[in-house]
Amino acid sequence: MNTRIFFGKTDEAARLPIYMTTVGYWEHQYETERPEGFPDYQIHQIIQGQGRLSIQDEEEYIVGPGEVFITYPDIPHRYEPITDRWELAWVSFHGREASQLLAYAGITGSGVYKLRNAELLHALQQMLMRGEGVEDTLDADGDRDSSKHLYALLLDLKPLLIAAGSDNDEMERLKPVLRYITEHLDQPLSLKELAEVAVVSPQYLCRLFQKALHVRPVFYVNQERINRSKQLMFSERALRIYEVADRVGYENASYFCSMFKRHTGMSPERFRRLHGLT
């Protein structure tokens, strides 16, 4: 399939309950930045490669095959490729029933959604095929046909989409971060560093942790450090408190003792006595 774009929205089409404004396909999507948003709803389906989507400079996603990203009118957003080839198809649309049909599919705002399979959505494919043989703008018949396909596309989304905001999906996105924390507990770990592992903003990483684990990243890191310190006190009883602190990423032994008491209700020394480790 070659790069292409077709335009709709004749005067007659604008009177339809839902109508297509553009439909297209890019062999490689370049960076697009829209600080004022876009006037229409848009659905982008990723066919090959990966890209980064940012919505209102707060939420960041990595999107690839088997996913679509949806943007609502006038919502600031930006997307860019992060692989040599980022192939996608999209449709822009509007109309008085657009938001209701999206809501029927479980979509109430801009974001990323997973598809149950990676095949090009049938109705989107039909709209691209309908544009074959025209210069760049569909006629009235083409607009009506596109409206039918668009209606079918939005109805079909309900069984085809898995919301990216589900708890399971949030946990999947956090797995690389949790693994990184486990492997680097003996080192300083900043929120910025952890966000880079997840390829999201620090603010969005905090949201992921809250949704999936109901704690903030800093709390989780300290909790893991304290758990590791307990293991060390059992496995290497000769270690002094300051040595345990250093082994779990605390440069200051007093701060380690403070964190230990906050998470366990007792000091490290009392923990040792309680378990016969002295």
Picking from 163, 198, 232, the residue at the C-terminal end of a domain is 163
What's the N-to-C CA distance of the chain in angstroms?
A: 72
Q: How far apart are CA 31 and CA 29, in angstroms?
A: 7
Give 270's strand partners. none
- What is the CATH classification number for the domain harbouring 25? 2.60.120.280
Domains held by the chain: number: 2
Picking from 163, 197, 230, the residue at the C-terminal end of a domain is 163
Residues 37 and 132 in one domain: yes
Query: What is the per-residue pLDDT across 250-276, written as a single tens digit (0 to 9) for each?
Result: 999 999 999 999 888 899 999 998 888
Residues 152 and 193 in one domain: no
Is residue 24 within 8 Å of 2, Cβ to Cβ?
no
* Dihedrals phi, psi of 249, to nearest 5 degrees: 95, 10
Burial 43-62 (b: 16+ CB within 10 A, else e): bbbbbebbbbbbbeeebbbe
Query: What is the per-residue pLDDT across 181-223, written as a single tens digit (0 to 9) for each?
Result: 999 999 999 999 999 998 888 888 998 888 888 788 999 999 9
Name the residue with tokens 């400079």.
57
Residues 96 and 227 in one domain: no
Name the residue range of residue 76's domain. 4-163
Q: What is the reported pLDDT for 5?
A: 62
Burial 84-93 (b: 16+ CB within 10 A, else e): eebbbbbbbb
Residues 84 and 28 in one domain: yes
Residues 55 and 126 in one domain: yes
Predicted model pTM: 0.59
SS (H, E, C) 21-79: EEEEEECCCCCEEECCCCCCEEEEEEEECCEEEEECCCEEEEECCCEEEEECCCCCEEE
